[in-house]
Amino acid sequence: MSPSTSRTAPKSKRQNNRSSSASSSRSGKAKKTPQKKQPKIDEKLGLSLYEAMLRTFLFEDRLNTLYRQGELFGGLYTGSGNEAVSAAAALALGKEDVIGPSHRGIGVHFARGVSFQDMMLQLMARGAGGTKGRDNAAHQCSPEFGVLGNISHMGAWTPVAAGCALAGVIRDEDIVALSFIGDGSSSLGVFHETLNCCSVMDVPFIMIIENNQYAYSTPNELQFRCEQLSDRALGYGIEGTTIDGTDIELVYATIKESVEAARRDKRPRLIETQTMRMRGHSAADEGSYVPRELLETWGKKDPVTQYEKVLLKRGWHTEDSIRELRESINAEIESAVAFAKASPLPETETVLEDVYAETPAPAAYPSATAQTMTYLEAIRETLLEEMRDDASTFCIGEDIGNFGGPFKITKGFLEEFGRRRVIDTPIAENGFVGLAIGAALWGMKPIVEIQFADFVTEAFTQIVYNAAKMHYRTGMPVPMVLRMPVGAGMSAGPFHSANPESWFCHVPGLKVVAPATVADARGLMRAAIRDRNPVIFLEHKFLYRRIKEAIRPEDAFIPLGQAHVDREGDRATIVTYGASLHRAREAAEQLSDEGMEVEIVNLRSLLPWDRETVFKSVRKTGKVLVLHEAPRTAGFGGEIAAEIAENMFEYLDAPPQRLASHDTPVPFAPNLEQFVLPSVEDIVFRCNSLIEY
């Protein structure tokens, strides 16, 4: 099949609004459309396309020399052979649109307006570079030009770019997002999840597959068996097109047409550009695995030299004007190199800055009267208040709309806020969490529901690499909440009972919250929504309807990172969080009946956690038991105990103790489940042992 053909999935009958059913009719076979005619490009545009390619070609040529001279740090990834795709895509978008380049997409930055100087500062890891020396050369982020910086996990950036377009849909703005993925990365699940989510959610998103024939050293025949990669569009009910990626005018016209169509109908598109990676995977890779004759064949289709011939033939350039342009660009490059070399590396003191975005002091929040409610109602009411108060908030997740979520927390939200702000998604945590991150970057405040905390593993890359590291490397905040029902006690078995706090407390850039009371659930949820960082909100599902407490107006906002002394005592301290607080309370009552008063510190926030409140209690009692429901080994309690031992040693009358679940998965049978969890009797016994130490 010719590389300049298009396949179009059949259009389904869709309603005019976004509430159309995801099961709309999509019958029929893909149709092969006629080969596209060579587009008409005027002189001004043609010269811009050529210069954009040439700037990339000459800059990368200089980079290869600098790399060999040891002037660049880390790896170097160039887009030799793909210059036409980068330039055309960047120029085909509007100023309001967003583009997420691949690690070979340096030309995207230049075509969107980024200077050689700024890029060279980034490549040479200078303090004035885009990431202040914190991220490597391929990950430059230029949000002022609508360019997002990818991460090393191939393909993981695609849903984030699409999420920027989702933000536009919610706000009724005409934003189109475009992102790149390689032929190899199109085998990833995130490729499927992103396109499927964008299709059913009507997101104007263009995904470009740069088919470079090799995924690192693996040829296409070992990567996929479909006739062409754009054929995959049929499964998502969207238009798919395959084109010659070395013909810049064809690439530009195809992308431009797709962008304009996506802006009109709010539908995604898939474009496969057939090209060849003319250098190795990186500058350190000779690419000896590629047959020489294949490189020679593609070398004859070099997009820069091909287009030079076209421009000369049309009289838009002359040999002299091309030479002058090259000299001018090279001079600009040398100036940028000299400037970057003369610029200092980042000061070491700055390495600890910007892990978190600063969150301003809390503004006014809805007035509240003293009232009694359940833990679930506290979460629900706070979500409702924040959604009503701030139009930039929206909820997204599986079954949260029509069904109201498995625990009915969002029941009725769809009727009040509509499908743009209460978004039911496919079963695709990787995809919809990535979309939420992108929406957060582009001015929204997503509240993501992970149906059960156990399922968050499907979105691990998005959370710990995209969301958590974003502000540190780009300065862009990611204000989002990830709600996760956690914990045991409901005979839900080993796949619906996780307590995953330790997974996330090890990740700088995240905040982790574990409310134990009704007041915690209400006040911490409001603080989490108003925070400018990604917050993991661990809702213990055993508590949803089992505790009902009176809360005060001042409980409407509880700052993150602030612990609470739940019970005063002087014989020992129990440090705990989540559902374990209630077992600690029962144990404290029993100990009190025996004449021993223990103090209970409810952490509430785990990252950051309130060391001062804990240390103050330890100085008072001299003995401490750290209690949690998660398994003991590598549990978060070990971190607390270690900090106490290191900093409070002179005040301790006994070694810090830990009490946690056994190191097993959570079993299904009720008696087995109760056996592995720390019981009230266990807490009483351990406290007695401490007191008698």
DSSP 388-419: HH-TTEEEEETT-SSS--TT-TTTTHHHHH-T
Strand boundaries in 184-286, DSSP class E: 205-211, 214-215, 218-219, 239-244, 269-274
What separation, in Å, do the N-terminal and C-terminal C-alpha atoms of the chain show? 81
pLDDT band per the 50, 70, 90 thresholds, residue 283: confident
Element (H, E) at 198: helix 189-200
Q: From CA 18, how far away is CA 225, in angstroms rounded? A: 34
In this predicted structure, the answer to whether residue 246 has a pLDDT above a threshold of 90 is yes
Question: DSSP state, 105?
Answer: -
Tens digits of residue pLDDT in 445-504 = 999 999 999 999 999 999 999 999 999 999 999 999 999 999 999 999 999 999 999 999
Query: Which position among 496, 540, 582, 628 bears the catalytic label?
Result: 496
DSSP string, 1-67: --TTEEEEPPPP---SSTTS-TT----S--EEEPPPPPPP--HHHHHHHHHHHHHHHHHHHHHHHHH
Q: What is the mean pLDDT of residues 245-260?
A: 96
Lowest mean pLDDT among 132-141, 413-422, 484-493, 568-577: 132-141
Q: What would the CATH number be for the domain defined by 44-341?
A: 3.40.50.970
User: φ and ψ at 328, to 5 degrees?
Assistant: -65, -45
Residues 6+ apart with CB under 8 A from 493: 666, 667, 668
Residue (of 280, 215, 273) closest to 247 by Cα position: 273
pTM for the model stands at 0.92
In this predicted structure, the answer to whether residue 21 has a pLDDT above a threshold of 60 is no
**CA-derived radius of gyration, the chain:** 28
Q: From CA 569, how far away is CA 550, in angstroms rounded? A: 23
pLDDT at 4: 44
Locate 408 and state its tokens. Answer: 């009915």
Q: From CA 401, how far away is CA 146, in angstroms rounded? A: 31
Q: What is the mean pLDDT of residues 547-557?
A: 91
Locate 633 and state its tokens. Answer: 């080994």
Do 636 and 575 form a contact (C-beta atoms < 8 A)?
no
pLDDT band per the 50, 70, 90 thresholds, residue 36: low
Q: From CA 34, how far away is CA 432, in angstroms rounded? A: 35
Q: From CA 508, how far away is CA 122, in angstroms rounded? A: 22
Residues 6+ apart with CB under 8 A from 541: 407, 485, 486, 487, 490
**CA dihedral (380, 385, 388, 391) positive or negative:** negative
Q: From CA 287, how far away is CA 77, in angstroms rounded? A: 13
Percentage, residues of the chain above pLDDT 90: 79
Tens digits of residue pLDDT in 74-118 = 888 888 889 999 999 999 999 999 999 988 888 999 999 999 999
Q: From CA 390, how far away is CA 382, in angstroms rounded? A: 12
Percentage, residues of the chain above pLDDT 70: 94
pLDDT band per the 50, 70, 90 thresholds, residue 38: low
Tell me the helices (H) and strands (E) count for the chain, helix number first: 22, 23
In this predicted structure, the answer to whether residue 26 has a pLDDT above a threshold of 70 is no
User: φ and ψ at 387, to 5 degrees?
Assistant: -65, -40
Query: 447-467 in b/e burial notation, b at 16+ Cβ within 10 A?
Result: bbbbbbbbbbebbbbbbbbbb
Q: What is the dihedral of CA 649, 650, 652, 657, to 10 degrees?
A: 0
Average pLDDT, the chain: 91
Do the domains 371-556 and 564-691 sit in the same CATH topology, yes or no? yes
Q: What is the mean pLDDT of residues 295-311?
A: 93
Do 164 and 443 form a contact (C-beta atoms < 8 A)?
no
pLDDT band per the 50, 70, 90 thresholds, residue 295: confident
pLDDT at 73: 85
Q: What is the mean pLDDT of residues 516-536?
A: 97
pLDDT at 284: 81
Q: What is the mean pLDDT of residues 424-452?
A: 97
Q: What is the mean pLDDT of residues 400-416?
A: 96
Lowest mean pLDDT among 292-296, 301-305, 480-484, 584-588: 292-296
* Longest CA span, the chain: 99
Residue (of 678, 679, 519, 510) closest to 604 by Cα position: 519
Q: Where are the domains of the chain?
A: 44-341, 371-556, 564-691
Architecture of domain 564-691: 3-Layer(aba) Sandwich (3.40)
Q: Could you tell me the CATH superfamily of domain 371-556?
A: Thiamin diphosphate (ThDP)-binding fold, Pyr/PP domains (3.40.50.970)
Half-sphere exposure (Cβ direction) of 678: Cα atoms closer than 13 Å: 28
Any catalytic annotation for residue 317?
A: no
Q: What angle do CA 441, 442, 448 make, to 5 degrees?
A: 60
Tens digits of residue pLDDT in 346-381 = 999 999 999 999 998 877 766 667 789 999 999 999
Residues 6+ apart with CB under 8 A from 501: 486, 512, 514, 536, 538, 606, 628, 630, 636
Q: From CA 176, how far away is CA 255, in angstroms rounded? A: 12
